[in-house]
Structures are given as C-alpha cells and as structure tokens.
Structure 1
Amino acid sequence: MRIIIFTDSLGRPRPNIADLEKTVYEDVYGYKLKKYFLHKHEIELIYIESLDTQDAIHWSQRMVAFRNPDLVVFHLGINDCAPRLFKKNANSIVHNKLFRKITFDLFLKLISYFRFQITKIRKLVYVNKQEFKDNFYTMIDEILKYNSNCKFLCISIAKSDVLNKKSFNYNSNIIEYNKILLEIFNDGYIEINDIISKNGLISDHIHLSIKSHEVLFEIIKNKIQELEKKCVE
C-alpha cells in the first residue's frame, strides 16, 4: 500500500527543545511506521507548520491526492478550533516590530494576561465547525478522484487542562470538533484523549511526547495490519 500521513506540526520532530522533551526524526510515529513497514508499504510523512484545514485543501491537492494513496492518515484540527485573540491573517499593530519595541511589548503582555477573558468575549477560531467539516470532505473527495478505493484514518485533537484555563472553551471546542471527525471517519477515527497519559504532551501542552508518539505508532500499525487482512480476505 501507499500510505500518506498528512499533518501539521504535531507529526514532526522537535529536536531544538529541552533534552527531556525533544523528539528527533526517529522518535515520531510517522518514521516508526515507515521503518516498521519498510519492505511492505510505501509510507510518506507530510507535515506543514501551523496547518489548518482551509490551507490543507491546497496542499492536499498538490502533495497527497495526485500520489494515488491507498491510505491517508489525517492529523489536523488544533489550528482550526483553538480559541484565538485575532482573526486569521489579521495584521494587528500589536505584532508590528516597531510598535512592540516602542511599547516594550506591553500590549502583548496585557493581551496574554487577559487571554481567557478576551477569548470568552470574542469567541474566535480560524475555521468554524461547518467549514471544518466541509474542508475534510473536500480533501477526501479530491483524493478519491485519484483512487476510489483509498481508505482514511484520522487522529483526534488532544485536549489540555492547562490551556483550557488560559483560553475560554479550549477543551469544549476540541470536543465539538472531535465529534465532527468521528462523524466523518467513523471506524477510521482514532481517539487519543483516552489513551495518552496525562503527561502525553510536552510542556507547550500541544505537541506529543516521545511516549505518545510510541502509542500512536502502535495504534496506527494495528489499523494498517487490520486493513492488510481485509485486503487478503
């Protein structure tokens, strides 16, 4: 099978952080799958920083669909549903280098301090729930044009109690968006919130620990082996 793992920064190694948390390429679940199935399946890991499903449509057309994959593993969603201080692509003056220098980052510090209250009032996300759903169906339909027998897996969005205290409705948003993923992918939906430990994320409370990469590797490996059996039957 030709298998493509299509993800945001959650699927990439993070070698430039503290030694206790850093992950090198060999630690991430995509590499582990590639190594495990080296002589059996062609596996490619595609990860794009800060990717949401709006932008993923563009990259899926150009980097996933035309490769005629037999299986696509999606690992997207946190950039869509996380509560935001500003609209997507907003050119706020508080991010201007000169303004930040003049104000000694005072405004950014204030915004960060009152993040929970601001996100409670503004209720901004980059991609709303209906768009999120539509974007996935757009990607799936495009992939199926190239291979009508392609199968799909999707990894759930990980919650964080720490970030839930910093941004209003952080976990609630994730629960709602995960419901959409479950609706779309059914048996192909992989719920990780019940599987990874409380220490399953690194200190930014977004990205996976080495242990969580190992857990995901085992889950997806088993899913692939189940598909192998079905192909033989």
Structure 2
Amino acid sequence: MRSATADLTTRARIRDAAVVVFGQQGFSTGVRAVATAAGVSPGLVNHHFGSKEGLRAVCDDYVLDVIRTDKADFLTAPSASSMIAKLADIEQYAPLIAYILRSFQTGGTLAELLFEHMVTNAELYLAEGVAAGTLRPSRDPAARARYAAIQGLGGLLLYFQLHTNGENVDYAKALREYSDATTLPALELYTDGMLTDSSLLDGYLENRSTTAEQEM
C-alpha cells in the first residue's frame, strides 16, 4: 500500500513536472506528456488531480504561492545581500515564468482568474511591506497592487514576445537577460522616483476630489 508521505511526494513531483511541461509546450499538452515527464502513469495523474483542469488549478495555486511567499519575505526584510543572492540564482524561476507567460498568452477565463489572484497576492505582500516599514503607504493600496501587477506582467510579456524565438525558448537565458536589462532602472525608479515635484499628483488629486464632490 502506498503511504501518505509517498502520495504527497508523488503529487508534488507530478505538479512540478506539469509546471515545466505546460510552460514549455502550452496548455494543449495532454496528461500523458506530464505523466512521462514525472515518471508515472497517466492514471496516477488523474488519481491525484482528477483531470487536466484539476492539475492546472493546482499548478496555478503553487505558482501563486511561490511568488507571494518570495515577494513577502523580501519586501518585509529587504537587504542588498538577499537581493544579490536572488539575482545570482534567478534562473531557478524560469519554469514559473514560462508557466505564467503561457497562461496569459493562452488567455481565457483561467488566465483572467490567475491574474486576479496575482493582484490579490500583490496587495497582500505590499501591505506586509508597508506594515514592516520597508514600503511607503499608498492612497489606494488596491489600485497600486493592480498597477504593479499590470506593469510587471506587461513588461515581462512584451520582453519575451520581442526577444524570444517562437517555441524554441530558453526561458532561463531570457529571464537572465530580462533581469540584467531591467533591474537597475527599476530599482532607481522605485528608490528615487522620477518626477522632481508633486505638482502633477497634487493636480490630479484635486481634480478627482472636485469631480467626486460634483457627482454627489
């Protein structure tokens, strides 16, 4: 009889294989390909996840959890040494990035749901950073989280669309190049800002306040 621990280990191995396979081959790939990559039978995949849709849902949850946990850990206790260590080993995130890109390239309800979960997670880990005193608070935390998700994912999608070659994508190499191209300007922008005064923000907030009063 298979032990509970063995079942959990097998389930995790199938999930990890599915993240890689779906990222490399797309979501039209069948359960058999995932089973082959995990070294198990297709029947065992269905035993653990019920269907390919069930497997994808578990993969979504796993990818979201890794991102949320890593972001929260870093934003609540940021340090130069931890940042340098993450950048030095950034290729480890290539399977997750490939999976995310495939999901948004495929589109549909599942991609929309994944994005909304990412926005929710972003709001949570940004709030943790504010509570820890490492991030400035926002006038509208939910809007800031959505903006951050749109900008981050949009930039990633555009970069990979322009700098990779169809189906033959070396995601680890492309992720390294993306990191090298964006880390400095991103850190500079988030640390120092860009505008030299607050006149645009002040004007926008004043106009929004006036409009809201007129609509009441």
Q: Which TM class, normalised by the smaller chain length?
A: 0.3 to 0.5
Q: Which structure exhibits the higher relative contact order, with contacts defined as CA atoms closer than 8 Å and separated by 6 or more residues?
A: 1
Bigger proportion of residues as strand = 1
TM-score, length of structure 2 as denominator length: 0.34
TM-score by length of 1: 0.32
